[in-house]
Structure 1
Amino acid sequence: MNSVALFGARIVNKFTCFLVISRKFCDHSGHVGEVHDGLNCIEESLTKEWESSDFDSATVEKPGFYDHECSEGHFSVRRIFVDNVKFDAGRILEILQRDGPGFDAKLALSESGIRVSGILVREVLLGILRNVDYANKTRCAKLGYKFFVWSGQQENFRHTANTYHLIMKIFAECEEFKAMWRLVDEMIENGFPTTARTFNILICTCGEAGLARKVVERFIKSKTFNYRPFKHSYNAVLYSLLAIKQYRLIEWVYQQMSDEGHPPDILTYNIIMCAKYRLGKLEQFHRLLDEMGRSGFSPDLHTYNILLHVLGKGDKPLAALNLLNHMKEVGFDPRVLHFTTLMDGLSRAGNLEACQYFFDEMINRGCMPDVVCYTVMITSYIVAEEFEKAQGLFDEMIVKGQLPNVFTYNIMIRGFCMAGKFDKARSMLKEMESRGCNPNFLVYNTLVSYLRNAGKLSEAHEVIRHMVEKGKYAHLVSKFRRYRRC
């Protein structure tokens, strides 16, 4: 019996047996030293819910009086209340914009007659946060803090942890790091425990500034660190570190966690396995997989996703198919995310045939591909220089209502450039803008680089001019100066 058949025969046995066999099939020592970008979708799926939440669950408004329907008209009382809040927030933002010599915004706010509430403060701070860009960040930070101080001085209002976190995020976006840290100290002095959300804001900022280790040490030692909804503060720390790809720091935190006698749970194992795989430490990855089984933890959807990536990147399509079937047997219906993860790994391994098989298999199982899945398959075709198939799939996704995102357009532009169809590549840039998909710097860089390498310098300069005229990435145009000198 060959190894694949052995895997299939035993995969329905106890989880410990599954671990041993999956370890055998996950082994692909030829890629030990690599760090694989294909793991991004797994990490994003682990952190998506956390990243999309701007507020602590304990302080989000609960449904109440405003949910009841009004006896007259078609609008609920809550809807009218929210509309009024948004109107008042708009008035406040207009007043703040006028702040400057000859106009006292604080005085104007006090004379406006607007009643301050938690939801109003939240709406105003979110409005400022949305408007932060490279050119106005210093002013946004000043206006945000001015409103924060003014609102905190109003009668019958007291800032919450949420409002502290929002002004901290404004400071983080505006790169006012010292001011952000002063807010943390003020928050603690005012009786608010630092939470997992506080840590997440700080670590995502300080990770770039090289202060991540100090931030982690401070929070681990802090007795005021409220780790809801996590089992313990270490998971909250690990969760945030994964979002900013601090894999070596994840290892260090896990060691501290073990030294203090805190047992890992399934979330811990998933995060640590991602980190070990990213660092190319496959032996340790497999040991963690074995340990998880011995500790009585069954794999969850994230664990299966990690394993499918490993099998895909290791070019083990038959083992991956057995794993998908095993998931179904134990009550986990594979989702689009699982197939996408697998196809991404297989694509990176150069197995386009297997990618096509699992794309069809996914649809046969009732999973409809989303924009990420289509983009993975289109990328596979373009890497294989099968440009017509890529174009066909691109057209198909639009017909089926899946609008291409910036990554889809970027790979299509790259494909046209690879095929020497520069007019179509430039047309694709215009198309994405007409569909409301704003090109990012990567898209412009792709097109300009290929045009320059093909000797089409005037066309490259035209794309740069277009970027500047659109007001895009003016602070990054210096990166293109070498094209202008050609």
Structure 2
Amino acid sequence: KSLCKSGHASEAHNVFCRMWSSNEKGDRDAFVSMLEALCNAEKTAEAIDLLHIMPEKGIATDVGMYNMVFSALGKLKQVSFISNLYDKMKANGVVPDVFTYNIMISSFGRVGLVDKARELFEEMEASSCQPDVVTYNSLINCLGKNGDLDEAHMLFKEMQEKGYDPDVFTYSILIECFGKFKKVDMACSLFDKMIAEGCIPNIVTYNILLDCLERRGKTAEAHKLYETLKQQGLTPDSITYSILERLESRSQQTARIRKPSRVTGWVVSPV
């Protein structure tokens, strides 16, 4: 534990392996602690090796252990290892749960593997493990960020038809995706729908829409949205102020002053 806390996870793993190499049976808590330490230290190869050693030491692996490693692999975008480990997990009789699917869908979506994310979602629906709001959010994000806006919006409607209430993350994801592909009117419409449905936007949602409006040159709408943000009692953060600085810069660049002309009298010219 001391080695792990001091940032020497590999050394801790070597000591750990030497300690248990001569013992036929291992201590479950010790192995789980070591697995967690390796994942936190991004030592995914060692974590996978440890998972494989556990059964040899009489320790049954469970879905929580695999999820821990899947999560570490996903953060590092090591999705090829996720696929291999997932196959081994199922071969060992460990059944994936909702967290497994959510981690994997998010991980494959993060690297743009939309078809793989869809495949996992369909596999999940066909199993006894049903999607939750996080699952829908992950796939909507995957589809939207990769330009499949129609499918992302259809999935948004589908989740509601199946009784799942979109949360602030769902709306923020969709607003960001439509904004990214210059669908400002749709982004604004979703924001209005969000409020009408009683889902309260947070500062992240406001920042996303502010950024969208500023990038499309809709200065007046952006200023109006900022006033709404303040009226709702939200505290602007560094991202908000960065967008406001861009708005101010844009206003200065497009400002005009009246200057006299010997030919036509007064004309409007850039500052």
Which of 153, 171, 177 pairs up with 2:6?
171
1:328 partner amino acid? Q
Q: Which residue of structure 2 lines up, in the alignment, with residue 304 of structure 1? A: 136
| Secondary structure at 1:368 match in 2 | coil
The answer to whether structure 1 residue 276 and structure 2 residue 108 are counterparts is yes
Q: Which residue of structure 1 lines up, in the alignment, with residue 29 of structure 2? A: 193
How far the C-alpha of 1:232 sits from its partner, in A, is 4.3
Q: Which residue of structure 2 lines up, in the alignment, with residue 251 of structure 1? A: 83
How far the C-alpha of 1:321 sits from its partner, in A, is 5.2
How far the C-alpha of 1:346 sits from its partner, in A, is 1.5
Say whether the 8 Å CA contact 2:44–2:72 is kept in structure 1. Answer: no
What is the CA deviation profile of residues 196-254 of structure 1, one whole-angstrom value per residue up to 9, with x for unaligned ones?
Answer: 5643442232x3xxx432332223423579899x6342122113333444333323322
How far the C-alpha of 1:282 sits from its partner, in A, is 2.8
| Secondary structure at 1:333 match in 2 | coil
RMSD, matched Cα? 3.6
Q: Structure 2 matches for 1:323-338, cutoff 5 A?
A: 323-338=155-170
Say whether the 8 Å CA contact 1:276–1:284 is kept in structure 2. Answer: yes
The answer to whether structure 1 residue 405 and structure 2 residue 240 are counterparts is no
What is the CA deviation profile of residues 312-357 of structure 1, one whole-angstrom value per residue up to 9, with x for unaligned ones?
Answer: 343535x555544443343322111111111122222221111100
Unaligned 5+ runs, structure 2: 254-271
The answer to whether structure 1 residue 292 and structure 2 residue 150 are counterparts is no
What is the CA deviation profile of residues 384-408 of structure 1, one whole-angstrom value per residue up to 9, with x for unaligned ones?
Answer: 2323433332333233122123333
Say whether the 8 Å CA contact 2:140–2:174 is kept in structure 1. Answer: yes
The answer to whether structure 1 residue 236 and structure 2 residue 236 are counterparts is no
Structure 1 distance, partners of 2:239, 2:74, is: 22
Q: Which residue of structure 2 lines up, in the alignment, with residue 316 of structure 1? A: 149
Structure 2 distance, partners of 1:180, 1:417, is: 53
The answer to whether structure 1 residue 375 and structure 2 residue 207 are counterparts is yes
Aligned residues: 247
Structure 2 distance, partners of 1:407, 1:169, is: 35
2:181 partner amino acid? A
TM-score for the superposition, normalised by structure 2: 0.73
Say whether the 8 Å CA contact 1:371–1:402 is kept in structure 2. Answer: yes
The answer to whether structure 1 residue 346 and structure 2 residue 181 are counterparts is no
1:199 partner amino acid? L
Q: Which residue of structure 2 lines up, in the alignment, with residue 356 of structure 1? A: 188
Structure 2 distance, partners of 1:410, 1:347, is: 18
- Cα distance change of structure 1 residues 282 and 225 upon mapping to structure 2, 3 Å threshold: farther
Structure 2 distance, partners of 1:375, 1:359, is: 12
Say whether the 8 Å CA contact 1:168–1:183 is kept in structure 2. Answer: no
Structure 2 distance, partners of 1:191, 1:294, is: 37
- Cα distance change of structure 1 residues 312 and 278 upon mapping to structure 2, 3 Å threshold: closer
Structure 1 distance, partners of 2:94, 2:79, is: 20
Say whether the 8 Å CA contact 1:363–1:369 is kept in structure 2. Answer: yes
Say whether the 8 Å CA contact 2:110–2:142 is kept in structure 1. Answer: no
How far the C-alpha of 1:419 sits from its partner, in A, is 5.7
Q: Which has the higher contact order (CA 8 A, sep 6+)?
A: 1
Structure 1 distance, partners of 2:58, 2:64, is: 10
Q: Which residue of structure 2 lines up, in the alignment, with residue 204 of structure 1? A: 40
Structure 1 distance, partners of 2:11, 2:91, is: 34
The answer to whether structure 1 residue 390 and structure 2 residue 222 are counterparts is yes
Equivalent pairs: percent with the same residue? 25
Say whether the 8 Å CA contact 1:251–1:275 is kept in structure 2. Answer: no
Structure 2 distance, partners of 1:333, 1:227, is: 37
2:185 partner amino acid? E
